[in-house]
């Protein structure tokens, strides 16, 4: 009986020590943040920890150039992300993000941004201030459109928007000439696209860009014709008004 009691006591003590040694995701994150702070590291890996929010201490690491946050449970990104203005790489794939703060537009040194496998339905207007972006990954989100401001991301070499809900691509996308270079890539597969039509998409990036350029030219021509038509109508109205005014003037003179 005594031996059984000692065995149970030993097991309880052992399990207590093991439990005490198990760290929460936030304990692990804090240790990594503190180590980066002490060493002055430029990279921080907080991926795969199951974090719902970022510890505020992250935003004190202003020397960071690479921040890995993929495979967590983040539903939002703190506006304080703007404090990490030196970031060149930000990896946020496989989270639960439904929106991005406007302050993300202040990360103007970003070269690579991975937002794939989230729940983003739109991008804030400030997003398109990231004009040094070279790689943008947006696959497996809920995007229904790309705004014309996409043309402001003039250094994009990789634009991956697989598996979203895009029906139309803006003609302004054709202004991103670097995407047509062989070493670069535009991937819009698995979207319910109407324009460009599927047969054009199947031909690859050069065909897509040609199609968008032609659409832009047609739209510009339609606008020119519409303006010319409007000018013609105004001229005709002024001419008719002048003729009528003269006619009324003549009648008055004849009456006198």
The per-residue pLDDT for range 36-52, each reduced to its tens digit, is 999 999 999 999 999 99
Split at pLDDT 50, 70, 90, the class of 229 is low
Split at pLDDT 50, 70, 90, the class of 19 is very low
Query: Cα–Cα distance between 242 and 252 in angstroms, integer?
Result: 15
Mean pLDDT, the chain, as a whole number? 88
- Residue 71, pLDDT > 50, answer yes
**Strand order across the 185-187 sheet:** 43-45, 66-68, 89-91, 112-114, 135-137, 158-160, 185-187
Percentage above 70 pLDDT, the chain? 80
Q: What is the pLDDT of residues 117-137, one digit of tens each?
A: 999 999 999 999 999 999 999
Question: What's the pLDDT at 192?
Answer: 98
Q: Which has more pLDDT, 76 or 20? A: 76
| 123, 100 Cβ separation under 8 angstroms | yes
Nearest to 103, CA basis, from 80, 122, 75: 80
Nearest to 167, CA basis, from 188, 138, 150, 137: 188
If phi > 0 it is left, if psi is from -120 to 50 it is alpha, else beta; for residue 117 that is: left
Split at pLDDT 50, 70, 90, the class of 194 is very high
| Domains defined along the chain, listed by start | 24-255 (3.80.10.10)
């Amino acid at each position: 009986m005594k031996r059984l009691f000692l065995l149970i006591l030993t097991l309880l003590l052992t399990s207590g020590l093991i439990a005490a040694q198990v760290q929460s995701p936030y304990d692990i994150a804090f240790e990594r943040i503190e180590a980066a702070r002490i060493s002055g590291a430029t990279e921080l890996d907080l991926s795969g920890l199951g974090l719902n929010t970022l510890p505020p201490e992250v935003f004190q690491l202003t020397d960071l150039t690479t921040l890995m946050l993929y495979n967590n449970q983040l539903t939002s990104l703190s506006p304080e992300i703007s404090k990490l203005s030196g970031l060149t790489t930000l990896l946020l794939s496989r989270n639960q993000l439904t929106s991005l703060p406007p302050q993300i537009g202040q990360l103007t040194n970003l070269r690579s941004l991975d937002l794939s496998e989230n729940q983003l339905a739109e991008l804030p207007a400030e997003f398109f201030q990231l004009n040094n972006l070279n790689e943008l990954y947006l696959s497996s989100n809920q995007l229904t459109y790309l705004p014309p401001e996409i043309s402001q991301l003039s250094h994009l070499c990789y634009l991956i928007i697989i598996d979203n809900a895009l029906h139309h691509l803006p003609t302004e996308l054709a202004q991103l000439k670097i995407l047509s270079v062989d070493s670069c890539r535009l991937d819009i597969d698995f979207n319910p696209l109407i324009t460009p039509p599927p047969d054009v998409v199947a031909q690859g990036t050069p065909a897509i860009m040609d199609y968008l350029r032609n659409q832009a030219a047609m739209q510009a021509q339609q606008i020119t014709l519409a303006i010319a038509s409007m000018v013609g109508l105004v001229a005709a109205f002024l001419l008719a008004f002048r003729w009528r005014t003269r006619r009324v003037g003549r009648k008055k003179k004849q009456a006198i």
